[in-house]
């Protein structure tokens, strides 16, 4: 879902980039509307497109997603894979998983998406690798733990992407939109530092969407 316009990059740039985004089909548009109407924080379309490009570029066959919501990014990633590909996705909410399953089925991708309905920190240690791509998009305070658990499951050359790491501008500026964001903002600032200096990663933070941490596992 869109972070507030202008908080990461300026309005003019944001509007321009928005106009350049590839058209989404009716199903994805319906999901965007549903998320908007119900206040569900789905992945920004530019981030989902970026994930789709990455899946195609590295020819990912196995993807791990932490934080499913209604399955928006799953559809981009699963569509970019061959029929043997698999997205393994985790969400703590049974309601979200149910909704995501229905959308994934409508997209004709049910064979390519495996759902887990439990807390991610419980599920990741039970999952077998290797993964070509890991996408972190759940509890901001837990990103470091997700990364520590998921990295050993990734192949060398695999890519890890983490969403919302600029957190509506709060991480860089330190100015909070509300007190409730203090812990997540501080956790993300620590996580970004950990991520870009991680000895097993070649990594960078990109001002795409609400901020993307993007890294390749090199060791």
Ligand X SMILES: C[S@@+](CC[C@H](N)C(=O)[O-])C[C@H]1O[C@@H](n2cnc3c(N)ncnc32)[C@H](O)[C@@H]1O
- 123-156 in b/e burial notation, b at 16+ Cβ within 10 A? bbeeeebebbbbbbbbbbebbbebbebbbebbbe
Per-residue tokens: 82: 């061959």
Q: Considering beta carbons, is residue 43 or 49 the nearer one to ligand X?
A: 43
Strand pairing category for 212-217 and 201-206: antiparallel
Q: Considering beta carbons, is residue 116 or 217 the nearer one to ligand X?
A: 116
- SS3 of residue 71 by DSSP: coil
In the complex, what is the shortest distance from the CB of residue 201 to ligand X, in angstroms, rounded to a whole number? Answer: 21
In the complex, what is the shortest distance from the CB of residue 132 to ligand X, in angstroms, rounded to a whole number? Answer: 17
Q: Considering beta carbons, is residue 120 or 187 the nearer one to ligand X?
A: 120
In the complex, what is the shortest distance from the CB of residue 14 to ligand X, in angstroms, rounded to a whole number? Answer: 19
Footprint on this chain of ligand X (rule: CB under 6 A): 41-43, 65, 67-69, 72-73, 90-93, 96, 119-120, 137-139
In the complex, what is the shortest distance from the CB of residue 205 to ligand X, in angstroms, rounded to a whole number? Answer: 18
Nearest to 18 by CA among 10, 53, 171: 10
**Whole-number Å distance between alpha carbons of 132 and 52:** 13
Q: Considering beta carbons, is residue 10 or 62 the nearer one to ligand X?
A: 62
In the complex, what is the shortest distance from the CB of residue 162 to ligand X, in angstroms, rounded to a whole number? Answer: 11
Per-residue tokens: 194: 């950990």
Q: Considering beta carbons, is residue 149 or 151 the nearer one to ligand X?
A: 149
């Amino acid at each position: 879902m869109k972070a507030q316009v202008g908080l990461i990059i300026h309005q003019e740039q944001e509007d321009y980039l928005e106009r350049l985004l590839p058209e989404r089909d009716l199903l994805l548009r319906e999901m965007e509307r549903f998320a908007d109407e119900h206040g569900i924080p789905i992945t920004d379309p530019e981030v989902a497109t970026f994930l789709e490009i990455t899946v195609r570029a590295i020819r990912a066959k196995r993807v791990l997603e932490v934080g499913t919501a209604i399955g928006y990014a799953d559809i981009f990633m699963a569509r970019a894979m061959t029929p043997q590909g698999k997205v393994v996705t985790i969400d703590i909410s049974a309601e979200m998983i149910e909704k995501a399953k229905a959308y994934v089925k409508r997209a004709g991708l049910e064979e390519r998406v495996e759902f887990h309905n439990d807390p991610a920190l419980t599920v990741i240690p039970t999952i077998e690798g290797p993964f070509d791509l890991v996408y972190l998009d759940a509890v901001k305070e837990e990103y470091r733990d997700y990364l520590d658990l998921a990295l050993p499951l990734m192949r060398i050359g695999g890519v890890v992407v983490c969403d919302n790491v600029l957190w509506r501008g709060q991480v860089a500026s330190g100015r909070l939109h509300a007190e409730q964001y203090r812990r997540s903002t501080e956790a993300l600032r620590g996580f970004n530092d950990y991520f870009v200096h991680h000895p097993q990663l070649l990594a960078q933070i990109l001002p795409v969407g609400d901020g993307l941490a993007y890294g390749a596992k090199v060791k």
